[in-house]
Structure 1
């Protein structure tokens, strides 16, 4: 298989001098590659280098075919139309001129006579057939704009496409559309994503770490199985290395003690009369040589064992997953923690988004709120916490509930992790605060870091520590899209922590793997029609 893109001895440092890559080598062909790694390791920077928008410090990026990067519009320019987002405005204008009998021979020669048919097919494949090319782009939802960007790729398919977090902030329908697009794509593709469902459409996984890149054949599930085997092997190697290091130290100690006893015996023998000085000196010389050989052998054994132990520990660092624990709630099975009775409400007076909604969460149930963007999921959560009052109906709230929203607004970004914990858990003394934060992997000076300087995964970990690590964890924990912007290692750590939480959960998420992992047993499904 011929390469479409080659990284040759690639190195890159950030403007402040932090080295991201050193001597990367990678060859990408006509396959779909999932590019994964912890946040901050440089995945997006690597994609930018691949696209040519950045130049490497050393090495080269060799492109052997056409390449296109998915356009993800965060802001829409005033007056921008669907045709502009598709990149076909000029070509369509040229066709219109020629069709009207204007533009001359040059315009006729440059006209793309198959463009309209390709546009129609691309829009239909991305479920956008009913959207006019002259429609203002600002009137489309975020999911529609993402699908439009994929349609633009289909109009004139390149050899290789680069997609950076294409399903972030998309609802279920948007995620399905992106997955279907990649499932049908037959060119080369590099996809940065933490969406495990999407990564199941990959042909290979490329893991980026501080040590470089490693390519694994197969999709996410095969990669996860391989990593689990690597972790088990690394744990075995570490146990053997620790045992061998301890054994080497013990043997060295035993040998030293044995030699010390011999030395003592020799000195006592030398003190006896009747032995020549020449014989005694010869015996002492042999003893010293034997001791030297024994010490050198012990030193080599200890050094070998220490080296093996260091290697085993370094290997563990590359495959070990995050893990932290939460406190017990012991919520009774029959206790109602949240109840909606014919609730109607919304953030703007007189404009209801939720209509006549009734449900109850009893005991340590795990309930997901699902539905397309704009259907009222965040409004439901605000009604559940009392941040919004219903226009009609009633809400019975838990004795104590805590909501972790996407902005983690319960935390003060200008204060340290420890200060935030103390503020939210005033009944905990310093030792209890430190112990609770240590359970969430904020040990010693790590607890003194300012929240505003943390990564998304770390901020969520602080939020969980502050709400679940104190002496009075909530009966009901409410989470609004908790996996957005997290890397997979952080997501799996949160899944493990929530698996140990015995209170009730109410979760908004489009991540089906996450909902399955935390044991969701029931769903409240909102439709676009509920917005009224």
Structure 2
């Protein structure tokens, strides 16, 4: 009997080419269960998945995989002519079936034919809510969310022992997110899921948290993890407070003892100076005083060292996280100003196949509008029209105020330049001090502001884009945001929500996260594809 499928990490470490230690000394075992991976942006979650697939080689330790794995990446990269069948690696097998049906297949071909293939393919696609998708559909004709769902179906179709999923719900609409949750709820194999989606994490059997201090495993889903984590954080804070109090007490006691000894020594010197004590007695008292002072000094030093060691140990148990402050300068947008007008706009990418059809929209003053609809309904296309990166086939688009477009790929950033250089290029006329101060509010302090954008994780890149867009001395009067929270860790997302809630300009937002939309105060929704 073969051993049960599992993945084991032994003292695993990986260091980036620039010398940064991303993962260090990880000891973890993943049994055949559903495990969520959580942690701050840049802590190494996606790096861990790449080490498991062999895309990266460890710089220390080892990875042992018992069983087969399949991975679905955040962004499904496809060739221009690739089809759904290619994603499933069944193009040739389907072509054989077509030949058999047409009566042109050889006897050997017919013997090799998999007559259950089409039914299994349809079942896999239906499991992620794509029941109507044909195998010959070109992947480039699908939305990002549809491609992600198709890639997930292809991974399940391969029947691996472990599914590795990197932010699988990022580009999905609400129906797609529900389909992924349902799929994982019924998945009997192992799964390792990197995600910030709290509803998805609730379906996990265990949560592994990655921090700068290493990794910790918690049984149960998101709620169980947060409850246990809150208890641990409170205990760590209490230990730190007690250690700080003890260290302060030892320091004050040592200082008091030193002052008492100094007073005794001064008294002895004054008495000796008066000449009313025999010389031999003076010498004996001086020797005893020196011995006592030395002993007291050694005792005080031991106590101080013990207290400082306890304090250092208490501090090491707490991950120090710089706060993110995304407060924005005022835009000065008047309540009556017409911000945007779309009049009977139709547009698309393939002639005769409009993605957006006859859309009319007016935005006045600091309205907060969510563009909603299923994947493929044209939400990102509508934002591209507003931003001017796509021309309408018919109708009129009139964007009347300064705006910033923040898309899912953060294309406003030059990946070859540093974060600071990008900020200065996007906000001409700002000083280096203004740049550094703005980036610091988004946790890019000192050398972190000089990191090259292309070396950042997905979450860090999005945070850098937000810093360059929202941190300007004069923010734009219209922010166009396409799934801005997709790659952000939950602490950063909360800070961004707070910053956007305080923003006094107009918002045009695409997001499938109802909690995010509620937090930023959306005032109305415009539904596409309904």
Bucket of the pairwise TM-score, normalised by the shorter protein: 0.7 to 0.9
- Structure 1 residues 346 and 252, CA gap change in structure 2 (3 angstroms): farther
Please report how far the alpha carbon of residue 264 of structure 1 lies from its aligned counterpart in structure 2 after TM superposition: 0.9
Please report how far the alpha carbon of residue 74 of structure 1 lies from its aligned counterpart in structure 2 after TM superposition: 0.9
Aligned residue runs from structure 1 range 94-109, under 5 A: 103=107, 108=111
**What is the CA–CA distance in structure 2 between the aligned matches of 1:62 and 1:433, rounded to whole Å?**
45
- What's the counterpart of residue 212 of structure 1? 214
1:221 matches 2:226: no
Please report how far the alpha carbon of residue 267 of structure 1 lies from its aligned counterpart in structure 2 after TM superposition: 0.9
Aligned residue runs from structure 1 range 304-343, under 5 A: 304-317=306-319, 320=321, 322-329=323-330, 334-336=335-337, 338-340=339-341, 342-343=343-344
1:355 matches 2:343: no
**What is the CA–CA distance in structure 2 between the aligned matches of 1:134 and 1:384, rounded to whole Å?**
33
**What is the CA–CA distance in structure 1 between the aligned matches of 2:408 and 2:395, rounded to whole Å?**
27
1:76 matches 2:79: yes
**What is the CA–CA distance in structure 1 between the aligned matches of 2:245 and 2:208, rounded to whole Å?**
34
- What's the counterpart of residue 126 of structure 2? 124
1:466-503 deviation digits (Å, cap 9, x = unpaired): 44444433443332222344444543443343344344
List gaps (5 residues or longer) in structure 2: none
1:380-431 deviation digits (Å, cap 9, x = unpaired): 3355456678754574634x44333345455555655445555555666665
Q: Does the CA contact (< 8 Å) of 2:72 and 2:166 recur in 1?
A: yes
Aligned residue runs from structure 1 range 243-282, under 5 A: 243-282=245-284
Q: Does the CA contact (< 8 Å) of 2:78 and 2:139 recur in 1?
A: no
1:7 matches 2:15: no
- Structure 1 residues 309 and 328, CA gap change in structure 2 (3 angstroms): farther
1:244-279 deviation digits (Å, cap 9, x = unpaired): 433333332222222212111111112222322221
TM-score normalised by structure 2 residue count:
0.81
Aligned residue runs from structure 1 range 301-450, under 5 A: 301-317=303-319, 320=321, 322-329=323-330, 334-336=335-337, 338-340=339-341, 342-344=343-345, 346=347, 353-363=356-366, 365-384=367-386, 391-392=394-395, 395=398, 397-398=400-401, 400-411=402-413, 416-421=418-423, 431-450=433-452
**How many pairs align?**
521
**What is the CA–CA distance in structure 2 between the aligned matches of 1:405 and 1:269, rounded to whole Å?**
83
Please report how far the alpha carbon of residue 192 of structure 1 lies from its aligned counterpart in structure 2 after TM superposition: 1.9
**Alpha carbon RMSD of aligned pairs, Å?**
4.0
For residue 194 of structure 2, the aligned residue among 185, 192, 195 is: 192
Other structure's SS at 1:284 match:
helix
**What is the CA–CA distance in structure 2 between the aligned matches of 1:375 and 1:57, rounded to whole Å?**
45
List gaps (5 residues or longer) in structure 1: none
Q: Does the CA contact (< 8 Å) of 2:40 and 2:211 recur in 1?
A: yes
1:51-95 deviation digits (Å, cap 9, x = unpaired): 4666656655444444433487512374x5544433445656777
- What's the counterpart of residue 27 of structure 2? 25
- Structure 1 residues 234 and 432, CA gap change in structure 2 (3 angstroms): farther
Other structure's SS at 1:126 match:
coil
**What is the CA–CA distance in structure 2 between the aligned matches of 1:459 and 1:386, rounded to whole Å?**
23
Other structure's SS at 1:148 match:
helix
